[in-house]
Structure 1
Amino acid sequence: MDHKDITEVKEINGDDNVNKFLKAGWVLLNTVAKQDGTSSWIAYSMGWPKDGPAVIPQGTSYA
């Protein structure tokens, strides 16, 4: 996949959310470990590789 085909990018947190985005047709672009004080998590950069409006999966905090 060529990144020039990506029409929208979102940073997603949480494995469940990422899996829902993948099932909706998004692709994983990158991951990064983040930390804020005593909390740490993995942030996932997701890209929408299709024409038309991006599908935001229901049941996520991004819908």
Structure 2
Amino acid sequence: MTMRDLIAELAGATPTQEELRKRYEETKAYCETHFGVTLTDEDHDRVEKIWQDLEAGREVESL
């Protein structure tokens, strides 16, 4: 496999912002339907901050 082939494969496997947003909406709907959990934009923002903190090696507040 050439470097060009590898990069093309990785680029093709990386979801676009639109695909990520669609996946988020589908997951949110699934949680609401199957678990009775309503996720707000604030919940989403909080989880995003937690992921950023984890990736940066910072202490994470309790969930």
Where is the strand percentage greater, Structure 1 or Structure 2?
1
Task: Provide TM-score, normalisation by structure 1.
Answer: 0.24
Q: Point out the structure with max Rg over C-alpha.
A: 2
In terms of fraction of residues, the more helix-rich structure is 2
TM-score, length basis structure 2: 0.24
Q: Which has the higher contact order (CA 8 A, sep 6+)?
A: 1
